Structure 1
């Protein structure tokens, strides 16, 4: 197809959307023909501007853990089992040389598990693209996958949404985390980060009991 060619329309009844590059090619062809109105209409119809809300927000630890438990501590974008953040931090405190965790996540001073296996919340449909900012649009994923997905849709990336896990069969080492800190209160008292995760974990587990 040359620059000015019009792409062939999809067959009648086809659900196949127009190729995005072809949409812009049609708009450019219209502009070359001096028809700005058609160019505007082509983009407005087949590649419309979508402006969502500001995605910068912080979830409470309770909201976060509820989502992790709902998804069974499984990365919904890869199917990989993930680890409770408190358990990861506990490991880094106990094994600082073998399992380091830089306070700002510096890659050269942080074990890669803190990216691969650290759970976080992502919006399946990006808020910047019009997705809702509520639990129905939240999924558990790793820091690594969250960073890679950014503001793209699953369709654009060719990703699929994996089914949730079962927290009764895999709890992300939550039981280990709570039991270890219960048995070692000095460790919990030495870290506000660990205390906050411990309090939130106990609260969410009580909700689920």
Structure 2
């Protein structure tokens, strides 16, 4: 498929080089038309995200690699900021790479821009890095395969340890994002009886 699209471009450029602008436009319109990507807003609560991460067993569904509860990463940054820096916009020169590699996020298996639904049946846990790479493409376009969910009893993304850490270091609750992840994580730890 990809090579046939290149052939359309070859033909379009040949038409353009021959001064046949209308023919170039026609072949693009017919064989490789512009389809604008629809941007649909989405926003998840911390609770919804944590529920999805627990459902998927803190496994990156696109690679099978383990991911870590976001609250843990923020707690590490609060406690040892020089060794594990955090930057609100995750600038790679200022923020530890673990945020890109190990921080879970929700991705739409079938992108919203291609008609995918915005609900748990179309959500997959993945790293921020892979989410950024995938963008508005399908798994097929990326050459990726959806991996099996993990078993939360085998790997909980350090969630239980996170709850214990926050309960021992109560000052961490002063950080809003840590407090939000703590509340949602504690509820999930209890629900899954970890």
TM-score (norm 2): 0.82
Shift of the 136–23 alpha-carbon distance from structure 1 to 2, 3 Å rule, reads: farther
RMSD: 2.8
Q: Structure 1 residue 146: deviation in Å?
A: 0.6
Q: Does 1:195 align with 2:179?
A: yes
Q: For 1:168, which of 153, 167, 185 is the aligned residue?
A: 153
The answer to whether the 8 A contact 1:88-1:118 is kept is: yes
In 1, Cα distance between the equivalents of 2:130 and 2:47?
Answer: 22
Contact 1:50 1:129 in 2 (8 A): no
Shift in alpha-carbon separation, 1:50–1:89, aligned structure 2, 3 A: same
Q: How do 1:35-74 and structure 2 match up within 5 A? A: 42-43=30-31, 54-74=39-59
User: How much does 1:207 deviate?
Assistant: 3.8
1:137 aligns with 2:128: no
Does residue 114 in structure 1 map to residue 94 in structure 2?
no
Q: In the comparison of the two structures, how many residue pairs are matched?
A: 190
What is residue 87 of structure 2 aligned with on the other side?
102
Alignment partners' CA distance in 1, 2:153 and 2:35: 40
Q: Which shows bigger deviation, 111-120 or 124-133?
A: 124-133
Q: Relative to structure 1, is the Cα distance of residues 125 and 24 closer, same or farther in structure 2, using a 3 angstrom cutoff? A: farther
Which residue pairs with 2:171 in the alignment? Answer: 186
* 1:165-202 CA distance string (max 9 Å, x none): 111100000011001111221222x2111111111112
- TM-score, normalised to structure 1, is 0.77
1:204 deviates by: 2.9
Give secondary structure in 2 for the equivalent of 1:120: strand
Ranges in structure 2 where 5+ consecutive residues have no aligned partner: 15-19
- Pick closer, same or farther for the CA change 1:55–1:98 going to 2, 3 Å: same
C-alpha distance in structure 1 between counterparts of 2:167 and 2:183, whole Å: 11
Q: Which residue of 2 is the match for residue 77 of structure 1?
A: 62
Deviation string for 1:22-71 (max 9, x for gaps)? 56778999xx7x889x859954xxx6776675333111111111111111
Cα distance change, pair 80–40 in 1 and its aligned pair in 2 (3 A): closer
| Residue of structure 2 aligned with 1:126, choices 111, 126, 136 | 111
CA distance in 1, matches of 2:38, 2:189: 32
In structure 1, the gaps of 5 or more residues are 1-15
